[in-house]
Copies of this chain bind each other. A is one copy, B any other.
């Protein structure tokens, strides 16, 4: 589907915000994503494939915001596009976040690393609208201050925003997962009950998500991760976006089974599987 570019501009460092008006209204839930082809569909064949981007925010007037980081050829082309142009998009795709456990949870904890914040602002806004009284604590991490995005917007809709940077240029100095761990252990001590636990939503680099698993699984905290994988199609055709399932028996497809997964269902270790699955073929 064609979408008109309403605006496209740098928000901070290498990060841009793209406001799109799709030809037909798109109904989405937080955590879903779009495939966006950089450049015209009958244009040059490099870059070839469309790129996956989270729906950052779906506005009430059927516009879609995408928050993206310029990292390679595709996002470089995106960053060069000017308003009034058009883009080919496909979506909304994927499952989106699940809210079943929110009502019963002690608090909602949202963890985002770097550009991983992209799907999280819409999530927090939706949560706030649905659960006005809920405590929502957002942990935002990055290498430095420049990586921390949407801080004000998040503050407006959450109970607390905790910042962490590796270089200490803003907030807690260290990994965001250290800040998270500290918070969780304190809150467990304070409450003395492990029956009512927080619910966690996270998006960011694999090592961050893995660390969160290590912290939350012993505490039996329900966690949802929005995952990334190389994608060719985004709609279940290519089977390229596999992520190993924790039971070791097979794979999920990030595009259709996800991108949101229960933390304990996926294997983010990157280690080769035990059984010799490898085949040379396509």
Contact = CB atoms under 8 A, between A and B. Distances in A.
Interface of A: 43-47, 73, 76-77, 82
A45 B47 CA distance: 8
A43 B46 CA distance: 9
Of the candidates A44, A46, A47, A77, the one having the most CB atoms from chain B within 10 angstroms of its own CB is A44
Contact of A47 (B44, B73, B77): B44
Contacts of A76: 43
A46 B46 CA distance: 5
Nearest to A74: B44
Contacts of A45: 46
One complex includes copies of this chain to the number of 2
Contacts of A46: 44-46
Contacts of A43: 73, 76
A228 B165 CA distance: 59
10 contacts: A43-B73, A43-B76, A44-B44, A44-B46, A44-B47, A44-B73, A44-B77, A45-B46, A46-B46, A82-B82
A82 B43 CA distance: 18
Contacts of A82: 82
A189 to B, nearest CB: 54
Contacts of A77: 44
Contacts of A44: 44, 46-47, 73, 77
A47 B39 CA distance: 13
Closest 3 CB pairs of A and B: A46-B46, A44-B46, A45-B46
Nearest to A76: B43
Nearest to A45: B46
A79 to B, nearest CB: 12
Contacts of A73: 43-44
